Structure 1
Amino acid sequence: MVKYILRRLLLLFPVLFGVSLATFVVMHMFTTDPAAIILGQHATTERVEALREELGLNKPIYIQFADYITKAAQGDLGKSVITKTSITDELVKRFPATVELALAAIVIASIFGVILGVVSAVKQNSLFDYGSMVAALMGVSMPIFWLGLMMIIVFSVMLGWLPASGRIGIGMTPENITGLYLVDSLLTGDMEVFNDALRHLIMPAVALGSYSTAIIARMTRATMLETIRQDYVRTARAKGLTEQVVIIKHALRNALIPIVTVIGLQLGALLGGAVLTETVFSWPGIGSYVVEGILTSDYPRVQGAVLLIGTIFVMVNLVVDILYCYLDPRIQHS
């Protein structure tokens, strides 16, 4: 197991190198000249060329990439060409917001998705089964930005139950709150901040988790239908075990591997930055940071965020693979 983990960690470097190279090439091929954007359309050619030299944009692209990789290996993702701020510092500030949103979304998706999938499989071809699968189909089909806007109209504008945007209310940012508002407020005992942060989190988390809930529900149902027909499940029933024990202890446990895989992939995608959700709800996470970088052709910002997203995907996949051994001891990594 240790050798397997070390080998997977070593594979992290070529994967991230490929992600960085692809992003670097694409951003330099299709983005507008940042120097021209910074100086405006009325800037002279001399001023534009001087700024390009200052930013290092006049160097050959392979030299620019080599400089970027060297600095990235040292934890320096460069500076924004628009705001001149450190990209590493900005990502560190915004990452807790995305973590909080993604974890809330995946918890909601996992709980409701697994429950819907298990009950649908046990009650196959029932009214509940048809209803839950229709709901799952709607969850996969509905655009997240549309669902988010509908939730804002209903629960914020019409009913006034929840705030429409932002991560926390005005005047609710004490200095001892660092990033994970829900966790920090619980640790400090500030329930006013906790309640306010929770109210801001509910709608974005539900909107973001809707797609994942549908995917997990459909995968759980399909896997459970296959599992409950196995001989060991019939044997467990023949022993006189209750249906609840048979389904949870025998069937669900053996069906968890593909379910955990889907949950891990969904978590990686959510942590990578829910661009649409963060944009609709003005959530200050990585997704909105990437959108701002694309709109302003701030390619160092996009490169740094994509590199972080790639790292998250690889690490989540590694954790999922390790979990396989604990869920099914028959699996051996050679």
Structure 2
Amino acid sequence: MNMRFLASRAASLLALLFALSIVLFVLQEISHADAVAATLGPTASPQAVAAERARLGLDRPPIERYADYLGGLFTGDLGTSFRTKNPVTADIGTYLPATVELVFFALLAAVLLALLFAVSSVLRWKGASVFRGVLFLGSTAPAFLLGIVGLIVFYQHLHWFPASGRTSGDTPPDGPTGLLVLDGILTGDLGLSGDALRHLVLPALVLAVGPALAIGRVFRSSLLETLEADFVRTARSKGLHERSIVFRHVLRNSVNAALSMSGLQIGFMFAGVLVVENVFSWPGLGSYLGASIPVSDFPAVAGVTFILASVYIIANTLADILQATADPRIAI
């Protein structure tokens, strides 16, 4: 791959992270969040308040405070939560694995549904129009409504899937990664993996429906465009079956636009995870953020925002690199 292309993407990634740090610092400066009051309480003496402000560096010029803030971001110091009194980094470390696991399986489900949507449309499989209609209907519903319908149908009436949490136990087991499906495999506890998967199905599907339609539509358009290419007509003239042409020749040549859309949808998934986690009582970053916003816990809100925005930026950078891998002409 072209090293200049990789260098440009890396430079863009760092520039966006730098810009994000400036935005978060400015928001912190203009917000009404008072770290001193949160630490000492409203009855602290003026002398104690002045001493705490000096200890926290709040009496220094903004440029110095920003330098400290930037250094903290890139060394993992995201401040201390007003609500939990714990370092935000520690809190995020507790809640992040649940969100990562949920988003990973939601993305996997979205890609599979998008692939089925695009290929079934192009090959005109029986029942494809019904599947497209169901996916379109599901994508138009708000995530909270889709989650409630899923709970009523698949939990309350059919009893297929659990309604909340990550496992059937009161507290998830402590594993090496915090990703319960993977932890179950690593420790040989396949019962844990199966239980975790059952709890993942409903929230992951709710999170996946909208992105699946977006990726599927782009992929379908790309497939139809590629099917008009000269090499496809040559393959048809050789007597190859349409299904063989699609799977052996067309899919790879049509994947670039879908990869780009997938990168965008990862960001939308992390944005939508707040609603989905609250509907299904999922103990992830969405739940942590939902509890922090009402009490104006700015360090927690800013920390989660930085992590989620960083994931979004990195995901889109990786999508660009994957596009260039699939089609080297992009990196020229």
TM-score w.r.t. the length of structure 2 is: 0.87
- 8 Å CA contact 1:103–1:267 kept in 2: the answer is no
Identity %: 35
- 8 Å CA contact 1:272–1:312 kept in 2: the answer is no
The Cα of 1:83 is off from its aligned counterpart by 1.9
The Cα of 1:82 is off from its aligned counterpart by 2.4
Change (3 A) 1:167 1:174: closer
The Cα of 1:226 is off from its aligned counterpart by 1.8
Q: Corresponding residue for 1:305?
A: 304
Deviation digits for residues 182-228 of structure 1, max 9, x if unmatched? 01101211122122211211111011111111112211222222221
The Cα of 1:146 is off from its aligned counterpart by 1.0
Which one is further off, 108-117 or 188-197? 188-197
Change (3 A) 1:11 1:326: closer
Q: Corresponding residue for 2:280?
A: 281
CA distance in 1, matches of 2:79, 2:43: 25
RMSD: 2.8
The one-letter code of the counterpart of 2:331 is: H
Change (3 A) 1:155 1:47: farther
Q: How does 1:185-334 map to 2 (within 5 A)?
A: 185-271=184-270, 274-329=273-328, 331-334=329-332
CA distance in 2, matches of 1:158, 1:12: 47
Which one is further off, 193-202 or 27-36? 27-36
Q: How many residues align?
A: 330
CA distance in 2, matches of 1:13, 1:151: 40
CA distance in 1, matches of 2:138, 2:6: 35
Q: Corresponding residue for 1:73?
A: 74
The one-letter code of the counterpart of 1:228 is: L
CA distance in 2, matches of 1:138, 1:59: 55
Q: Corresponding residue for 1:24?
A: 25
- Helix, strand or coil: the match of 1:219? helix
Q: Corresponding residue for 1:86?
A: 87
Which one is further off, 263-272 or 137-146? 263-272
- 8 Å CA contact 1:169–1:196 kept in 2: the answer is yes
CA distance in 2, matches of 1:11, 1:212: 25
The Cα of 1:179 is off from its aligned counterpart by 0.2
Change (3 A) 1:210 1:52: farther
Which one is further off, 52-61 or 293-302? 52-61
The one-letter code of the counterpart of 2:101 is: E
CA distance in 1, matches of 2:129, 2:47: 65
Change (3 A) 1:52 1:172: closer
Change (3 A) 1:71 1:233: same
- 8 Å CA contact 2:207–2:272 kept in 1: the answer is no
TM-score w.r.t. the length of structure 1 is: 0.87
Which one is further off, 241-250 or 6-15? 6-15
| Pair 1:161 & 2:137 matched | no
- 8 Å CA contact 2:40–2:49 kept in 1: the answer is no
Q: Corresponding residue for 2:107?
A: 106
Please list every run of 5 or more consecutive structure 1 residues that lacks an aligned counterpart in the other structure.
none
- Helix, strand or coil: the match of 1:262? helix
CA distance in 2, matches of 1:61, 1:35: 17
